[in-house]
Chains A and B, each alone.
Chain A
Amino acid sequence: MSLDHLLQEYRCPEGIWDEMRGPDHIRDHYNRVFHSLRQLEVGSLIQKDRMAAELFMNQGITFTVYSDNKGIERIFPFDIMPRVIPGREWDHIENGIKQRLKALNLFLKDIYNDQQIIKDKVIPAFLVASCPHYTREVFGIKVPHDIYVHISGIDLIRGNDGSFYVLEDNLRTPSGVSYMLENREVTKRIFPNLLTDSQVRRVSNYPLLLHEILLQLAPTQISDPTVVLLTPGVFNSAYYEHTFLARQMGISLVEGRDLTVDNHKVYMKTTNGLERVHVIYRRIDDEFLDPLVFRPDSALGVPGLMSAYRKGNVAIVNALGNGVADDKAVYAYVPDMIRYYLNEDPLLPNVPTYQLSDPEARAYVFGNIEHMVVKRTNQSGGYGMVMGNKVTDAEWAKAKAAIEKESRNFIAQPIIPLSTVPCFIDGVFQPRHVDLRPYALYGPQGVKIVPGGLTRVALKEGSLVVNSSQGGGSKDTWVID
């Protein structure tokens, strides 16, 4: 059977924006993909699907699920149908993210130095002070080139009006870029002609760009600074990504026990003795980085690392303390930050957000919970979310009690039906909700964004949760001109 029949039958739910199919037509940017697929047989696509799975398996492209009893390592689910974004739309997204990142960077610099934004009452002081990720220990520390957010993943969703909204900012240790890169490599194997004919913008230069930025951050003017990637180890959920990036950049992958600090300088233990380290790309959360300053029970970090950081003897990427800027309560103020620091209107809007510390907002949300999603301000991975349209009475009673007890730690947003994309599941095309995570690199020469990013898919029918740890998968994202 040809795919033409399946594609003609593809439909998405009412009131949902589908990336491929408009109300009565195939969107222009999907034309080539649509018409190419029509020529194929179902069996051929099933074979490609199988090949993709084998490629992921053979290369060990995995992630680890903490709470899964069946086994800690899972192959990252991949749907072979690409998600296509037209170039002009991408350019708008790119400009919006650059603007947003500039503002967030200025915010971080301000909040850990003069705190002018608080003095000017743009953001309430209590919101910053009560943020669990506001790191007082880094107050006043000068960072190279005044850049705090070197690597970020800005999560975008498309609503049913067709516009992109920023869902959240990931400014600490955003992950997923390796899947973005590997998805493209797999797509090259399964749709070589279509990829070439579509003139898709490339993503493969991300590791080179990142390495270039890391080298530029070295604290001393030397010709060949040592850069390392600090990983928590094989049991971390994103360990595959750590090894991937270390290999792609040609830098050493180290754990905390491989480093030592002597006289406020960081060294790596090698079989040839101690080697000075100039830049650390850390994939360890702030609180585990230095047991002498943060969590004393941390076995993942490096004792004394903060002393070297304070002295400016080592650059750490991303800077410590970024969590205050990607806190979900502070997120609501990012448009204000853009206006305050840049004197511009935001190019990419936020999703409307209700601070549950505000009694009026709380009352409104409680009265309309069936249309709301409630989130903890310091959670990620899709955990701790309450979907108001699916929560049981007992679960809601428990959640309400938690909200009333620590209202600062909760926000609510209206449930936005994410856009859908056709996915090839069980031999047919089915619509599934997606979001988009573009990755941005901020170096001394400015912000660079890899075209496309990672499209995350909620593989369960009807689900809006795209996170890999809760059944999500990914797609290759094509930006075409």
Chain B
Amino acid sequence: MERADGLLRVASTHYTLSMDKDVNGKMTWQPLLELFTKATPEQARALEDDTEGVLKRLLTDTDNTNSLRVIVSRARENARGVQDHITKEVWEAVNSIYHLAEGKGLEDQLSSYGALNVMEQFARHCVLYTGITDITMPRGLGWSFMNLGKYLERSLETLALTDKQFQLIGYDMDEAKDIVQWRYLLYSLSGYELHLKTYRSPHYNLNVLHQVLFNEYFPHSLIYSLTRLERHLKNVVKENRSADSDALVRSFGRLHSRLRYMDPESINGRILQEFFMDFRTELLQFGKRLSQHFFSYS
């Protein structure tokens, strides 16, 4: 569900901003295709200006394993399998998004000017799901595991989107890029307004990097997600202490500390590029160890 929410925000942001062609220069769908599909570079280039085609690929194409329809269907199947651990309200919320995604005529709506309405409708359902989950789920193991999944996904999404944007300027923190050009990333992460209120200096590249990585008040920042991951991980292992669970907590603690005690000014160029790649790899490894530790049937 977190991935669905992220996909919708990114797609609708891109759709809206792409209409301001004179401000953003030549903005194409290629970065999103690279992020959310397995399209080859050639396929991505062929589709990069085809808004309708890309939206269908991202939202309704069942051959794309990261399309909204497929993601929501998987979420729903997961929810079906754990109905004794989630509330009825949470199940109904997931189920209603599923039926919306399976609805006939969705492709036609995306073809017309109604594309943004469709995405907003889904986005509202996702927000409703988040609220219902927050209000109804008891704060037990089920809640902790849901949040582990959610914040892991959010961390990876923040890293992937930020990496993509910095790639466009060659990871050069001194490369001139004004705030209007950073809107794409900030809107995609729902952080534009916070940025305007928090960061006043003209060092936009550094400010944006600080916000998405280190700002503890920003719900989509990496540090925010890691802090909550650590809390929920500790809740999960609280009554299940073992050598393996302790090792899991320690390895995550090291990852968290690495970010917490990093000097933002020192990240530039190649270091930044390596940072994005290494951190994503370590997060993915953490996710795998988490699954193996708690959900392996061996």
Q: What residues make up the interface of A, taking CB atoms closer than 8 Å to B?
A: 57-60, 229, 233-234, 239, 243-244, 246-247, 251-253, 257, 269, 271-273
Known: A247-B84, A257-B297. A234 touches B77 (CB 8 A): yes
Extra contacts besides A234-B81, A271-B294 (16): CB < 8 Å: A57-B99, A58-B96, A59-B92, A59-B95, A60-B80, A60-B91, A243-B83, A243-B84, A244-B83, A246-B84, A247-B83, A247-B84, A247-B88, A251-B84, A269-B297, A273-B240
When A234-B77, A243-B84, A253-B84 are in contact, do A60 and B95 touch as well, CB less than 8 Å?
Answer: yes
Cβ contacts under 8 Å, A257 to chain B: 297
Q: Is B141 an interface residue (CB 8 A)?
A: yes
What are the residues of chain A within 8 A of B294 when measuring CB–CB?
A: 271
**Chain A CB within 8 A of B265 CB:** no
| 0/1 string, B135-168, CB within 8 A of A gives 1 | 0000001000000000000000000000000000
Q: Closest residue to B236 on the A side, CB-wise?
A: A271
By a CB distance below 8 angstroms, the chain B residues around A57 are 99
Complex A-B: 17 CB contacts under 8 Å: A57-B99, A58-B92, A58-B95, A60-B91, A233-B81, A234-B77, A234-B81, A243-B83, A243-B84, A246-B84, A247-B83, A247-B88, A251-B84, A252-B84, A269-B297, A272-B239, A273-B240
A253 to B239, CA, bound (A): 21
Chain B 79-91 per-residue mask, 1 if CB under 8 angstroms from chain A, else 0: 0110110001001
A271 CA to B297 CA, complexed, in Å: 11
Docked pose: A271 CA to B244 CA in angstroms:
13
Q: Which residue of A lies closest to B80 (CB)?
A: A234
Least distance between B12 CB and chain A CB atoms (Å) = 25
Q: A60-B91, A271-B240 are in contact. Are A243 and B99 (CB under 8 A)?
A: no
Which 3 residue pairs of A and B lie closest in terms of their CB atoms, listed nearest first? A243-B83, A253-B84, A246-B84
**CB nearest neighbor in A for B297:** A257
Which residues from A are CB-within-8-Å of B236? 271
Kindly supply a per-residue 1/0 record for chain B positions 56-82, scoring 1 wherever the CB is within 8 Å of any chain A CB and 0 otherwise.
000000000000000000000100110
Q: Are A246 and B240 in contact (CB under 8 A)?
A: no
- CB neighbours (8 Å) of A233 from chain B are 81
| Residues of chain B contacted by A253 (CB below 8 angstroms) | 83-84
Give A268 Cβ to nearest chain B Cβ, in Å: 12
The 8 Å CB contact of A243, one of B80, B240, B297, is B80
**Chain B residues within an 8 Å CB radius of A272:** 239-240
Q: How large is the interface on B (under 10, 10 to 19, 20 to 34, 35 or more residues)?
A: 10 to 19
Q: How far is the CA of A60 from the CA of B81 in the complex (A)?
A: 13
Main DSSP-derived SS at the B contact region: helix
Q: Which residues of the other chain, B, contact A252 by a CB distance below 8 angstroms?
A: 84
- Nearest CB on B from A405, distance (A): 42
Complex: A57 Cα to B98 Cα, angstroms:
10
A156 to B99, CA, bound (A): 36
CB of B167, distance to nearest CB on chain A (Å) = 39
Query: In chain B, residues 18-55, which have Cβ atoms closer than 8 Å to a Cβ of chain A?
Result: none
Specify which of B80, B91, B92, B239 lies most central, judged by the most chain A CB atoms within 10 Å of its CB: B80
Q: With A and B bound together, what is the CA distance between A243 and B88 in angstroms?
A: 10
**Min CB distance, A245 to chain B, in Å?**
10
Chain A residues near B240 (CB-CB < 8 A):
271-273
What is the chain B residue whose CB lies nearest that of A260?
B297
Q: Which of A60, A246, A257, A269 has the most CB of B within 10 A?
A: A60
A273 cross-chain contacts in B, Cβ below 8 A: 240
CA gap between A272 and B294 in the complex, in Å: 9
Docked Cα-Cα span, A257 to B81, in Å, equals 14
Q: How far is A59 from B87 in the complex, measured between Cα atoms in Å?
A: 12
- Which residues on A sit within 8 Å (CB–CB) of B77? 234
Measured in the bound complex, the distance between the Cα atoms of B80 and A246 in whole Å is 12
Q: Are B99 and A246 in contact (CB under 8 A)?
A: no
Chain A residues lying within 8 Å of B83, measured Cβ to Cβ, are: 243-244, 246-247, 253
A208 to B141, CA, bound (A): 25
Q: Could you say which residues of chain B place their CB within 8 Å of the CB of A229?
A: 84
C-alpha spacing A57/B92, complex, angstroms:
9
Measured between beta carbons, the chain A residues less than 8 angstroms from B80 are: 60, 234, 239, 243
Minimum CB–CB distance for A75 against chain B, Å: 10
Interface residues of B in 84-127 (CB under 8 A from A): 84, 88, 91-92, 95-96, 99
List B contacts of A58 (CB < 8 A).
Answer: 92, 95-96, 99
Q: Quick one: which of B77, B81, B84, B297 has the most chain A CB within 10 A?
A: B84
In the complex, chain B residues whose CB is within 8 Å of the CB of A246? 83-84
Please give me the residue from chain B that is nearest to A250 by CB atom: B84
CA gap between A454 and B190 in the complex, in Å? 50
Kindly state the separation between the CA atoms of A458 and B81 in the bound complex, as whole angstroms: 31
- When chains A and B are docked, how far (Å) is the Cα of A58 from the Cα of B96? 6
* Distance in angstroms between the alpha carbons of A269 and B297 in the assembled complex: 9
Tell whether, in the assembled complex, residue A60 and residue B84 are in contact, meaning their CB atoms are under 8 Å apart: no
Chain B residue numbers with a CB within 8 Å of A60 are 80, 91-92, 95
Minimum C-beta distance from B69 to chain A (A): 14
Chain B positions 230-277 with a Cβ under 8 Å from a chain A Cβ = 236, 239-240
Cα distance A247–B85 when bound, in Å? 8
B residues less than 8 Å from A269 (CB atoms): 297
Residue of B nearest to A249 (CB): B84
Closest to B93 in A: A58
A234 to B78, CA, bound (A): 10
* Nearest-neighbor residue (CB-CB) of B88 within chain A: A247
Smallest CB gap from B95: residue in A: A60
In the complex, what residue of chain B is closest to A273 when comparing beta carbons?
A: B240
Report the nearest A residue to B81, measured CB to CB. Answer: A234
Tell me, rounded to whole Å, the shortest Cβ–Cβ distance linking A415 to chain B: 39
Q: How far is the CB of B79 from chain A (nearest CB, A)?
A: 9
**Chain A residues closer than 8 Å to B96, beta-carbon distance:** 58
A251, chain B: closest CB distance, angstroms: 7
Bound complex: CA of A329 vs CA of B236, how far in Å?
54
Give bound CA distance, A289 to B259, whole Å: 50
Residue numbers in A under 8 Å from B239 (CB-CB): 272
Distance from A440 Cβ to chain B, minimum over Cβ atoms (Å): 25
Bound complex: CA of A366 vs CA of B6, how far in Å? Answer: 67
B82's closest neighbor in chain A, by CB? A253
Set of chain B residues within 8 Å of A251, measured between Cβ atoms? 84
